[in-house]
Structure 1
Amino acid sequence: MADYGHELLFGSFLTPQAERADEVVALAQLAERVGLDLVTVQDHPYQPAFLDTWTLLSVIAARTERVRVAPNVANLPLRPPAVLARSAASLDLLSGGRVELGLGAGAFWEAIVANGGPHRTPAEAVVALDEAIRIIRALWGRAGRTVKVEGDHYRVTGAKVGPLPAHDIGIWVGAYKPRMLRLVGRLADGWLPSLGYLDIDRLPELNAIIDEAAGRAGRSPADVRRLLNITGTFGRGGSGGISGSPDDWAERLADLTLVHGVTGFILGSDDPTDIQRFGAEVAPAVRELVDAARAGTVPTTADGPGPGTAPDARPDRAPSSTGTGASGHPDGGGSGGGPTDSTVAREIPGLGVTPTPDDGKRHSDTAAWDEGTRPTGPAPQEGRTYSARERAQGQHLIDVHDHLRQELTQLRDLVDQVEAGVLDVGTARSHLNEMTLRQNNWTLGAYCESYCRVVTTHHTIEDATMLPHLRRADPRLGPVTRRLEEEHRVIHGVIEAVDRALVALVSGDGDIGGLRSAVDLLTDALLSHLSYEERELVEPLARLSYH
C-alpha cells in the first residue's frame, strides 16, 4: 500500500482543436465551474490542426479565476528549456500562481524533425530531459543569479535568472521506461503517465523504481506526486479505460490513491457532460472515500457496532445467519476451538488458488464475535475455467492478507521481546528501523499504531469499493459481504483497544500485560476474519472482475 499523502487533484485534459477554439476555452471554463482543480492541454507543436498550447493556456488562464493550467505534456524537443522556463514563469506571474509544467522528452520524432527539432534515441532523450530540468529550475532562481549548463544537448552559458514565478511551479514528467522513471525519482516533482499506455498491475513495480531513485538522490518518495491521465465511459460497455456509474469511478480512483499512491486524476475528454459528471459527482465522492480511509474512520450503521464498539464483548446482536450455503460450512472456533472445515486448506476447483485456512488456535479468552453465525456464499460453478488474469485477481486478496499476517507476526514478536526484557527501548527502535525501511525513530507504540492504520485503511477500502461491487454483481453475496462489514467494525473497536493499551503503557497507567491482552484479541479476530473472507471471496473476486 503506497499512499504518499498528497492532496487530491482533479483535472481535465483537452484537445486544442483550432477549428473549435471557442469551444475549447468554454470547456476549460466549465471545468472550473464544476469544481475541477486543473485544466491541461495536449502539446503537439507539429500538428497544424491544433492551437499552440502556450497561447491557449494563456487565454484559458485569463478567462478563469481559480483553476491551475498546465501543458500535458510540453514537447521539449520543440521548446528549448530556457524559453520554456520563462514562458511558464511569465504565465504563472500573470495568472497569480496557477501554472504547473507537464514535461515530456518527446515522441513522434519524424514530425519533430520535420519541424526543425532533433531526433533523439531513448538514451539521448533521458539525458536531454535531465539537462532541461536543471536549466529550467536554475532560471526560476533555484541556484545563483546566472545559469551555466554545458550539456550534450543544451548549452546555457551565463543566462540571467528570471523572471521568477509567482509560486513553486511543479515539474511533472510523463514517463514509462525504467531510465526515465529513475530520472523522475531524482529530479521531478510529479509523475504523469496516461492510463492508455500503462498497465495498472505494474504500478507497484514502477512506483518502486521512482521511490528507490528518490532515496538514492536523498529525497523522500513523497516528494514525487503521482498523477494519471484517465479516460473512460459513464455507463456500461465502454471500449477502454474506466467505466460505470460515477460511484463506480469513485471507487476505482479511491483504490488507485490508497493502494498505488495516485493523487492526481486528469480526465481526457472533450465531452461537456463527462467533464461535468467528473467534477460534480466523481471528484467529491473520491475525496470522501480517501478522507475516510486516511482518517481511519469506518461508517456506522443502525444494525451493527460502530468504531467505538467495546472489543471485550460480542456485539449486542450477533450478525444474523442466512443458513449454510453450498460453498461450505460456517467457521467453528472460539477460545480453544478444535479443527473445523475452515482449518483445512482447499484449492478452489479450476481456479488453482488456495485460501489460507484458520488454524483454530486462539490466544484470548475473549471472543470478538460468534463465528458460528457466519453466512456462506454460493458454490463455485462446476467445470468453470479461469483466465490468468482472473486467477491473479483471486490471488491478490490472499497476497494482501499475507502482508497483514506477516506484520501481525512481527508485532507479536516485538511485544514478546519487550515483555521478556530482551530488548530495551533503543534496541527495539533500531530493530524497527530496519523492518520499516522508510521510517525513522520508531517506537513500539508508533509501530503498533502504524500497523493499526494499515488494517483500518484496508478494511475501509473493502467496505467502500470491493464489497458493494460484489453485492451488485452477485446479490447472493449480500449476507456474506454485510457480515464482513460488521466484522470490520468490530475489528476497528479492537484496534482502538490496542491504542488505549499503548497510551496506558507509555503514561505509566498500564503495563505490558494490558497491551498483550489487546494484541492477543486483535490476533484472534484478524486471523479468523482474514481466513473467512478469503474462503468466501477469492472465487467471486476472480469471477466478477473487481479490477
Structure 2
Amino acid sequence: MANRALEFGVVMISSGCTPEQWKVKCRRAEDLGYDVIGVPDHLNLMSPFPSAVLAGAATTRARIATYVVNSNLYNRALLARDIATTDLLLDGRLELGLGTGYVEREFEAAGIPFGTPADRVAGLESAVTGLEELLGAEDSPLPVQRPRPPLVVGGHGKRVLRLAAHEAEVVSFTGAPFRPEFGRTGLVDAPALRERVGFVRRECAGRTAPPVFNVLSKQTVLTTDRRAAAAELGRYAPDLGVDQLLEVPTLFIGTARQIAEQLHRHSEDFGITYFTVMEPALEDFAKVIEQVR
C-alpha cells in the first residue's frame, strides 16, 4: 500500500448556505487538487445526500463522499434508496461512508434509542451487510456502481475495524477512542495506532483487493515552530507529550514541506495513502498537496 499514489479529501461543513455558495466552495476544493469532497451527517448541518448531489453538479473530477452517514438514524430501505439515487445523480462518483453515530442528543432528537456502543456497532454491521441486497431490490433505483458504491468504514475499536477490514474499500483510522477519564475522545499515540493498523492488515489478509487506509486530520497547522504548535494542541490528547503529538498521523503540523514529508512517512510506516482534512484547513492543506504533487 505504500506504493499507492497519495489521495486527499476535504469534508465541507455548512449549517446553511445558498446553492451558489455551496457550489463555489466545492469548485474551489476541486480546483485546489482535492480528490474527494466529503459531506458530514449531523442534525445541525445540511442533509448529506442533497449536499452531495449539488457538490457533484458543481464539479467534474472529484469523488463525492458521505463522511460519514450515521447509519443508525436511517430506515434501511430508505437509506438504500438515497444511496442509489445519489450515485445515479453523481454518475457513479459517490463514495459511501457509513458510521455508528456518536452524538447522543442527535439520537434523542430523532426519537431513536442511543443504546450502548455495542448496540450502535451492531446497527452499523446490519446496515453494511444488508446493503447489497437492498440496493438490488426489485422496483428500486439501482446505483451506477455495482453492487454498491465503494464503502468507507472507520473507527478505533476492533469490532468496527474488523467490519471495515472485511467489507469496506476504505478503512478510516480515527485514532481517537472515547476516553472516560476525559469525558470525550482523545488521540492515541503512534504505537497504539500502528497496533490497530496491524490488526486490520491481519483481518483483511485474505482479500483479493486490500482496502485503502485513510485518516482524518483533527487539526492542520502551518507553522515554522512545530513544537510550540504541538504544545497548543495538547487538548486533543492530554496524556501525550509534545514529541508524541508530533508523531501521530491525525495531526498535521509544520511547514507545507514538513507536512508533506510527514504524509510520506505515514504512507511508508502505516500504509495510509488517503488523507482527509476538515474545511477550515482547505486552503492551508492545499499548500501541502502542491508539495506532494
TM-score (norm 1): 0.44
Q: Cα gap change, 1:122/1:202 in structure 2, threshold over 3 Å: closer, same or farther? A: same
Q: 1:210 aligns with which of 186, 200, 206?
A: 200
* Number of residues of Structure 1 aligned to a counterpart in Structure 2: 258
Compare the two structures and name the one with the higher helix fraction: 1
Q: Which residue of 2 aligns with 1:174?
A: 154
The residue type equivalent to 1:163 in the other structure is P
Q: Is the 8 A contact 1:183 1:213 kept in 2?
A: no
Q: Is the 8 A contact 1:176 1:198 kept in 2?
A: no
The residue type equivalent to 1:224 in the other structure is P
Name stretches of at least 5 consecutive residues in structure 2 with no aligned partner: 177-185, 234-250
Max Rg structure? 1
In the alignment, the residues of structure 1 paired with residue 53 and residue 75 of structure 2 have an alpha-carbon distance, to the nearest angstrom, of 19
Alignment of 1:33-112 (within 5 A): 33-45=31-43, 47=44, 50-112=45-107
Alignment of 1:355-394 (within 5 A): none
In the alignment, the residues of structure 1 paired with residue 194 and residue 76 of structure 2 have an alpha-carbon distance, to the nearest angstrom, of 31
Offset, 1:164: 2.5
Same amino acid, percent of matched pairs: 28
In the alignment, the residues of structure 1 paired with residue 201 and residue 98 of structure 2 have an alpha-carbon distance, to the nearest angstrom, of 19
- Other structure's SS at 1:192 match: strand
Compare the two structures and name the one with the higher strand fraction: 2
User: Which consecutive aligned stretches of 4+ in structure 1 deviate over 3 angstroms post-superposition?
Assistant: 3-7, 19-25, 193-198, 236-240
Per-residue CA distance 1:405-461 (angstroms, 9 max, x = gap): xxxxxxxxxxxxxxxxxxxxxxxxxxxxxxxxxxxxxxxxxxxxxxxxxxxxxxxxx
Per-residue CA distance 1:438-494 (angstroms, 9 max, x = gap): xxxxxxxxxxxxxxxxxxxxxxxxxxxxxxxxxxxxxxxxxxxxxxxxxxxxxxxxx
The residue type equivalent to 2:285 in the other structure is F
Q: 1:164 aligns with which of 133, 138, 142?
A: 142
Q: Which residue of 1 aligns with 2:131?
A: 136
Q: Cα gap change, 1:128/1:5 in structure 2, threshold over 3 Å: closer, same or farther? A: farther
Offset, 1:24: 4.2
- Other structure's SS at 1:164 match: coil
Q: Is the 8 A contact 1:102 1:192 kept in 2?
A: no
Name stretches of at least 5 consecutive residues in structure 1 with no aligned partner: 147-159, 288-547
- Other structure's SS at 2:204 match: helix
In the alignment, the residues of structure 2 paired with residue 201 and residue 269 of structure 1 have an alpha-carbon distance, to the nearest angstrom, of 28
Where relative contact order (Cα < 8 A, 6+ residues apart) is larger, the structure is 2
In the alignment, the residues of structure 2 paired with residue 167 and residue 102 of structure 1 have an alpha-carbon distance, to the nearest angstrom, of 15
- Other structure's SS at 2:277 match: strand
Q: Is the 8 A contact 2:72 2:124 kept in 1?
A: no
In the alignment, the residues of structure 1 paired with residue 90 and residue 46 of structure 2 have an alpha-carbon distance, to the nearest angstrom, of 20
Q: Which residue of 2 aligns with 1:431?
A: none
Alignment of 1:286-301 (within 5 A): 286-287=292-293
Q: Which moved more, 1:17-26 or 1:259-268?
A: 17-26
Per-residue CA distance 1:362-386 (angstroms, 9 max, x = gap): xxxxxxxxxxxxxxxxxxxxxxxxx
Per-residue CA distance 1:199-221 (angstroms, 9 max, x = gap): 23322210122122223xx425x
Per-residue CA distance 1:485-519 (angstroms, 9 max, x = gap): xxxxxxxxxxxxxxxxxxxxxxxxxxxxxxxxxxx
- Other structure's SS at 2:155 match: coil
Tell whether 2:268 aligns with 1:258: yes
Tell whether 2:211 aligns with 1:233: no
- Other structure's SS at 1:43 match: coil
In the alignment, the residues of structure 1 paired with residue 140 and residue 4 of structure 2 have an alpha-carbon distance, to the nearest angstrom, of 29
- Other structure's SS at 2:10 match: strand
Q: Cα gap change, 1:210/1:81 in structure 2, threshold over 3 Å: closer, same or farther? A: farther
Offset, 1:25: 3.6
- Other structure's SS at 2:94 match: coil
The residue type equivalent to 1:15 in the other structure is I
TM-score (norm 2): 0.79
- Other structure's SS at 1:112 match: helix
Offset, 1:162: 4.2
Offset, 1:23: 4.0
CA RMSD across the alignment: 2.3
Offset, 1:198: 4.0
Q: 1:276 aligns with which of 278, 283, 288?
A: 283
Q: Which residue of 2 aligns with 1:190?
A: 170
Q: Which residue of 1 aligns with 2:252?
A: 242
In the alignment, the residues of structure 2 paired with residue 15 and residue 109 of structure 1 have an alpha-carbon distance, to the nearest angstrom, of 20
- Other structure's SS at 1:97 match: coil
